[in-house]
Structure 1
Amino acid sequence: GVTVCLLALKLILGIISGSIAVLSDAIDSATDVVGGTAALVSIRVAAWPADQDHPYGHGRAESIATGVISIVIAMAGLLIVGRTVYSIIVGDTVVPTLIALVAALVPIVIKEILYHYVAYQARKFKSSLLMASAADHRKDAITSVATLAGIAGARMGYPLLDPLAAGLVSLAIFKLAYDTATRATRELMDRIPEDTTMRDIKKIVLECEGVEHAYVRARSLGPNIFMEIKIDIDPELTVSEGHGIAKSVKSKIIAEVEGTADVLVHVNPHYD
């Protein structure tokens, strides 16, 4: 709702003021609306429980949506670059009216507040999609600062600064598109969780009674972590005792490693 209102504000005031920078900011906000809609849909899909056709759940929906968002953001950047280059080459520059300053100042405050709120939620739920959304809010605040500077410069007698500010907005958009696409690609390629998480997992496994050695593999699917663990135990133990150790390993990891969706523990006899 907030982003839609900001989009309408920037679009209307951008047209009234004649500021290319504000209109570029409006295009940027339009990508936020598209991205936010995709995020809401994908989060709901990712929350669907595992089924026969999707035994690992639907966590990939977040990664796919993140990739789509990156494409939309990049397209918006290209659109702004095209308009900026045209204005500079043709000389189609105007001095924005005073109302353009309002269109740039209001989003700075609102977007910075949204950044802190969404970033908190992203850390709480360990969601890459929400973190991408938070980064987008921070990017919006920064680009609005550039827009504000460009408008102020144009009103002080340097009209070329308005389209140049739009160009700076496009650079920020391209950077965001790259970061978002990189995040999505890492998840789709089964990148391991953070190094600290991997170290914690192995430490937890080795602390379990009966485990002599451990080999851990893990991958992230959206907010969830799936693991495959091989443990070496005393070869003299019975199958039932080995199963008991494996069960304790799984229970301890699920209890202590946040985001764990499933753990497969394979037991091997340890021979010197």
Structure 2
Amino acid sequence: MNPYRVLAIGIVANIGIAAIKIITGILYSSLALISDGIHSISDILGTTIGYIGVRISSKPPDKTHPFGHSRFEPLFAFIIGVILILTAYEIGREALKRISSAEFIQVNEIMLGVVIFSIVSKEALTQYTLRAGKKLNNQILIADAYHHRSDVLSSIAVLAGLLFQKSGFIYGDSLAGIAVAAMIAKAAFEIMEKNIHYLTGMCPAEETIEKIREVAKSVDGVEGIHDLRAHYVGKDLQVDIHIEVSEDKTLKEAHDIGTEVKKKLREIEEVSEAFVHIDISGDNDGKI
């Protein structure tokens, strides 16, 4: 499954959905529909940034980035979160202005049909992108999927608001806009919180550390381990570990043990690189 194709499909789909919602909103003076359309535009911008992020993060190591470009992936995912925050602010601000002026709009079947179409199509896009993101372990695709999901939830709020408006509650359209803003902000904070950990080199969960320890100990010739450290570089996990071998091992035998430990550690799903230091058993300062 190609991440570029998934993102491209998201961009094209969001262009169509955004155009339909905004045009309908303008024709019938619906803030809820216009806001929902703006949310879809933010999807387009976010997905485009995501596309660029995938392209950059997949580049191999070079002179300026000797450990690769994987940190660009959560960086661009974080930017998507910032875009969502700005979108939420603008929608909420406009909704409050509408409430203060007590504007009334007429809701018709065309408006309701557009919202229902948006809900169905965006949920399908959410499921497609989320499956691809999990399969590829790609944080940008996963962030983009939840971006689509926030659009589904906002459209549901818009549908409820329009139905209330149709039944005579004059603030239904504007309150739907506030609900959209709150949902977008929630999704934004979740995306930003997750990816800031990747950007700042957070250590993995304790169960992952324990798994690394067990894998290293399982290699024949390893008599002990110490000074185990691991942190994320982007979404990839890098491990730094000291192993202890018997002092009667030859240099080649010790080297081969270290190579086997590195190989086994890199077979762990999240681990992208392992740095193995070889020490004499019982003398942690006596590195070979």
TM-score bucket of the superposed structures, by smaller chain: over 0.9
Equivalent residue number for residue 182 of structure 1: 193
Q: Percent identity?
A: 29
Deviation at 1:194, TM superposition (A): 4.3
Equivalent residue number for residue 240 of structure 1: 252
Q: For 1:96 and 1:213, locate their aligned partners in 2 and report how far apart those are by CA, in whole Å.
A: 72
Q: Stretches of 4+ moved more than 6 A in 1?
A: none
Which deviates more from structure 2 when the two are superposed, residues 69-78 or residues 213-222?
213-222
Q: For 1:53 and 1:260, locate their aligned partners in 2 and report how far apart those are by CA, in whole Å.
A: 22
Question: In structure 2, what residue type is equivalent to 1:99?
Answer: I
Alignment of 1:79 onto 2:90: yes
Cα deviations by residue, 1:71-98 (Å, 9 ceiling, x for unpaired): 1111111100110110011112323332
Q: What root-mean-square deviation, in Å, do the aligned CA atoms of Structure 1 and Structure 2 show?
A: 1.6
Q: For 2:217 and 2:48, locate their aligned partners in 1 and report how far apart those are by CA, in whole Å.
A: 44
Alignment of 1:103 onto 2:114: yes
Contact 1:123 1:131 in 2 (8 A): yes
Q: For 1:73 and 1:96, locate their aligned partners in 2 and report how far apart those are by CA, in whole Å.
A: 27
Aligned match of 2:230 in 193, 210, 218? 218
Contact 2:71 2:235 in 1 (8 A): no
Aligned match of 1:231 in 220, 229, 243? 243
Gaps of 5+ in 1: none
SS at match of 1:159: coil
Contact 1:24 1:166 in 2 (8 A): yes
Gaps of 5+ in 2: 1-11, 284-288
Residue pairs, 1:94-243, within 5 angstroms: 94-215=105-226, 216-243=228-255
Contact 2:222 2:244 in 1 (8 A): yes
Q: For 1:3 and 1:193, locate their aligned partners in 2 and report how far apart those are by CA, in whole Å.
A: 35
Deviation at 1:261, TM superposition (A): 2.5
Contact 2:47 2:144 in 1 (8 A): yes
Equivalent residue number for residue 57 of structure 1: 68
Question: In structure 2, what residue type is equivalent to 1:81?
Answer: G
Q: For 2:106 and 2:124, locate their aligned partners in 1 and report how far apart those are by CA, in whole Å.
A: 30
Q: For 1:196 and 1:115, locate their aligned partners in 2 and report how far apart those are by CA, in whole Å.
A: 30
SS at match of 2:257: helix
Equivalent residue number for residue 55 of structure 2: 44
SS at match of 1:52: coil
Q: For 2:107 and 2:187, locate their aligned partners in 1 and report how far apart those are by CA, in whole Å.
A: 27
Q: For 2:253 and 2:179, locate their aligned partners in 1 and report how far apart those are by CA, in whole Å.
A: 64
The count of aligned residue pairs is 271
Contact 1:18 1:96 in 2 (8 A): no
Equivalent residue number for residue 34 of structure 1: 45
Q: For 1:208 and 1:82, locate their aligned partners in 2 and report how far apart those are by CA, in whole Å.
A: 60
